[in-house]
Chain A
Amino acid sequence: MECGEHVVGKPLPTVWRLVDQALIDEYADVSGDHNPLHTDPDFAAGTHYKGTIAHGQLCFSYIVQALLLAFGASFAYGGDVSVTFLSPVRPGDHVRASGAIREVASTGGKCSLRCDVVADVDDRVILRGEASLMHDLP
């Protein structure tokens, strides 16, 4: 099944990002989310995670970047993305965000698209989910 350039199975562009403690702290500052699990190594060491972890929303933003690379501004107007966070991202991790088109349909001069999205660190899945959007036919 295809719709314009969009074909089931076509991968989304891959976004690679290095997450370090400085970036986590920067995200905490700009977001105001100073949960000590993210920013306080002593506190985080005493938790189930045994150390600081990145904000889920930071890693989520990489998925949205991959969707924008794939579909351009179409995704900004009605795009929908949901993810489940499965594993923590720690300082020093290289996150790879990507996905693939799962369903395409043509309706009224537009492509209706559903995608699987995933982010991993060294093949350890950190989040997984799906996205949907309508995209103008070329």
Chain B
Amino acid sequence: MPDFIPYRELSVGLEFPPSVYLVDADTVRGYVAATSDTVSQAVLSEADSGPSGVAPLTIAALYNLKASSAIPAPPGGILAKQRYRFIRPVHVGELVTTSLMVKELYTRRGRNYVVIEGRSMDEANSLISEVYSTRIWAK
């Protein structure tokens, strides 16, 4: 059994099991450092009334990446397009559940593209972000 899913086995509408992600303080610190993000926490904390530290918006990438481990891609593929819609920031200590679905498949100039929708919900089952990722699926 291959350790990735070949393009031919993907189909539009294919859903993957929800993935739960804990936004912990160490991860937020690591993410801020890795993205050289001197902006998000200063801007978001000013307007934030949450019970604990606020995370950068794009930390949504981490719970989407964790969820996408259910759709392992062949090595060498890259991200072609990305769209994020932010409903609200998340806080340290929150559990985020992300569900992925294949929305579109197409081939252009000999390359296979996969569009994946990720919807992330909080513990009250309210939407906190949506991510649409278009990946070039390596052959």
Question: CB-CB contacts of A3-41 with B at 8 A, as 1s and 0s?
Answer: 000000000000101100001001101111101110000
Q: Hey, which chain A residues are within 8 Å of B62, CB to CB?
A: 30-32
A93 to B62, CA, bound (A): 23
Q: Hey, which chain A residues are within 8 Å of B88, CB to CB?
A: 76-77
User: Do B75 and A76 touch across chains, with their CB atoms under 8 A apart?
Assistant: no
Contact count band on B: 35 or more
Q: Hey, which chain B residues are within 8 Å of A60, CB to CB?
A: 58, 61, 82, 84
B interface secondary structure, majority: mixed
User: Do A37 and B76 touch across chains, with their CB atoms under 8 A apart?
Assistant: yes
Q: Hey, which chain B residues are within 8 Å of A69, CB to CB?
A: 39, 43
A76 to B89, CA, bound (A): 6
User: Do B65 and A31 touch across chains, with their CB atoms under 8 A apart?
Assistant: yes
Knowing A27-B34, A30-B31, A68-B57, say if A43 contacts B81 (CB, 8 Å). Answer: no
Residue A91 lies at the interface, judged by CB distance under 8 Å to chain B: no
Q: Hey, which chain A residues are within 8 Å of B48, CB to CB?
A: 73
Residue B35 lies at the interface, judged by CB distance under 8 Å to chain A: yes
User: Do B65 and A65 touch across chains, with their CB atoms under 8 A apart?
Assistant: no
Q: Which residue of chain A is the closest to B74 with respect to CB atoms?
A: A35
Question: CB-CB contacts of B32-49 with A at 8 A, as 1s and 0s?
Answer: 011111111001101110
Kindly provide the distance from the CB of B82 to the nearest chain A CB, expressed in whole angstroms. Answer: 6
User: Do A73 and B44 touch across chains, with their CB atoms under 8 A apart?
Assistant: yes
User: Do A56 and B78 touch across chains, with their CB atoms under 8 A apart?
Assistant: yes
Knowing A43-B75, A60-B58, say if A27 contacts B35 (CB, 8 Å). Answer: yes
B30, B78, B89: the one contacting A29 at CB < 8 Å is B30
Kindly provide the distance from the CB of A17 to the nearest chain B CB, expressed in whole angstroms. Answer: 5
Residue B77 lies at the interface, judged by CB distance under 8 Å to chain A: yes
User: Do B81 and A82 touch across chains, with their CB atoms under 8 A apart?
Assistant: yes
